[in-house]
Amino acid sequence: MAKLLVVRHAAVRVDYAVPPARWELSEPGRRRTRELAKNAPWQGIVRIYHSAERKAVATAAILSHDTGIATVCAPGLGELTMPLIPARAEFIRRMERYLAGTDEEEFESWSAATRRIVHCVEDIVAESPGQSVAIVSHGRILTVFYSHLLRRRLNVADWQSIALPDWSIVDTTTWTVERGFLAGGQSVTGKNRTISH
Residue 194 lies in a domain: no
**Cβ atoms of 141 and 14 closer than 8 Å:** no
pLDDT value for 190: 35
Contacts of residue 194, Cβ cutoff 8 Å, sequence gap at least 6 = 174, 175, 176
Residue 192 lies in a domain: no
Residue 197 lies in a domain: no
Q: Is 117 exposed, middle or buried (0-12, 13-18, 19+ CB in 10 A)?
A: buried
How far is Cα 53 from Cα 37, in angstroms, rounded to an integer? 20
Question: Structural domain of residue 162, as residue ranges?
Answer: 3-187
H-assigned helices in 40-182: 54-67, 88-99, 110-127, 139-150, 156-160
Residue 20 lies in a domain: yes
Residue 153 lies in a domain: yes
pLDDT value for 92: 96
Grouping H, G, I as helix, E, B as strand and the rest as coil, residue 105 is: coil
Phi, psi angle pair for 156, to nearest 5°: -65, -35
pLDDT (tens, 9 = 90+) of the chain, 197 residues, equals: 899 999 999 999 999 999 999 999 999 999 999 999 999 999 999 999 999 999 999 999 999 999 999 999 999 999 999 999 999 999 999 999 999 999 999 999 999 999 999 999 999 999 999 999 999 999 999 999 999 998 999 999 999 999 999 999 999 999 988 897 742 233 333 333 322 22
**Cβ atoms of 139 and 159 closer than 8 Å:** yes
How far is Cα 86 from Cα 23, in angstroms, rounded to an integer? 14
C-alpha torsion 116→122→128→131, nearest 10? 120
Residue 24 lies in a domain: yes
* CATH code, 136: 3.40.50.1240
Residue 131 lies in a domain: yes
Domain count, the chain: 1
Residue 68 lies in a domain: yes
